[in-house]
Amino acid sequence: MEQQTRGMLHERAFIMDRVEELAPKFYQTLHRIGWGQLVEELGNINCNWVREFYAMLPTVDWIVSEPQITIREVNIRVGAEAINSVHGLTNPPQDKLRAKDVKGNGPWLVRMLVRESKRNKTTWAVSRLAIESRHFTPKARRWLNFVARRVRLSSNTTDVTYPRALMVDCIIDGVPVTVGMQVIEEWRGFIAKDGPSLMFPCLITNLYRNAGVPTEHGDRYVECDVAFDPLKVKGSQGRGKRKRTGSDDSEDSGGPQDGSQSQTLGTLDRMKADMAMVRAAMMGFARPSIEAGSSSSATGTGYFTAEQMKVYMETQTKMGEAVDALQGAYGSLAQAYVDL
C-alpha cells in the first residue's frame, strides 16, 4: 500500500464519537454550515485514476463555467458543483468571502484567530506570510485541523498558509465557504507550483465513478487513511512536547491545543474518577491482623507488630493526603486552563 500511495495526501474521515457531548459548539457549527457529510469516508482509492488525473490536470480550462478533464475517453466534470455533489454539499455564494480577502486584513485575522494575550506577539499581521498556529485560540486550532485534513489539505498545521487562515476565519465568523472552490484553488496551486503531493485521491476516485470511467485490469485500489479524531490533535510546540487538556470549545478552551496530543476536558471528570479509583485501590489493602502482645518472631508470616502497624497506618494516611492533593492540583490546572 505504501508504494501505491506514495506522494498522495489523503482526505480523512472523522471519528465523531462523543464530539457532540465534548465539543458541542464545534459539532453545532459543523452542521449549521452544512458540512456534516464531510466527516464521512469516501470509500477506497483507485491509485491509477489519481495519477492519470494529475497527469492531465494542466489541460483543464478553469475559465469555463463547467471545467472538465478527459481521461479514458470519458469527460469528467471537475467544477465546484461536481465536487460539492460528491460530498453532498451546497454551493453558497462567495461574495462575503471575497470581501474578507482584501489587502490589509492581516490585523483583523489576528483578532479573529489569535488568543488575546498573544496578539501583540504576532508578527505576520502585515505580511500575511509565515502565519503560525501556536498562538491560535483552541477554536481556531480545531477548525484549522479540520480544514487541513478535509478541504485544503496539508500535513503541516504549525505553519499556516494565508488561504487556510482565511478559511478558518470565515468558518468562525459564519461566512459561507464553497468547498468545491477551495479544492479547485488547491489544484490550481498544484499546477502553478508543481506541488509535491497528489491531493484529494478519494474525491478524484469518486468523480471518476460518478462519470462512469471504466476500470482496467491493472488498476490498484487502496483504503483511505484511518479516520481522524478531532478531539485529539498531534503536534508540537517549541522544543518539547506537552499534553494539555481543556474544557469544551469556547473561544479559548477545548479544541486542538498547543502540544503533542490534546483532548477535550469533560476529561476533568475522568481525571477525578481516576483519582478516586487510585484511592479506592490504595485503601483496599488488607490490614494484617494483630494479636495482643505478639512479636514479629511469634506471629509468623502475614502479621505485623503493633509498631509496624502504626507505621503502616501513618503511611496510608499520608498517601491518602497525597492523592487528595494531586486531585486538587488537577482541578486547579483544569480551572486555570479554562480561565486562560
Q: What's the pLDDT score for residue 63?
A: 92
Among the residue ranges 16-30, 46-60, 157-171, 317-331, the one predicted with the least confidence is 317-331
* CA dihedral (176, 137, 10, 263) positive or negative: negative
Better pLDDT: 292 or 180: 180
CB 112 within 8 A of CB 173: yes
> Which three cell numbers mark 220?
490498484
φ/ψ of 264, rounded to 5, equals -70, 155
> Which three cell numbers mark 249?
470549545
Q: What's the pLDDT score for residue 78?
A: 96
Region 188-208 average pLDDT:
89
CB 179 within 8 A of CB 84: yes
- Listed residue (110, 100, 176, 112) closest to 139, CA to CA: 112
List, in order, residues 6 or more apart from 234 with CB less than 8 Å away.
260, 261
Q: What's the pLDDT score for residue 224?
A: 85
> Which three cell numbers mark 239?
522544543
Better pLDDT: 288 or 221: 221
Task: Render pLDDT for 13-46 as a digit per residue (tens, 0 to 9).
Answer: 999 988 999 899 999 999 999 999 999 988 899 9
pLDDT class of 134 with cuts at 50, 70, 90: confident
Region 149-171 average pLDDT:
92
Residue 281 CB coordination number (10 Å): 9
The shares of helix, strand and coil residues in the chain, as percent rounded to the nearest 5, are 50, 10, 40
Among the residue ranges 2-16, 110-124, 171-185, the one predicted with the least confidence is 2-16
Q: Is the pLDDT of residue 295 over 60?
A: no
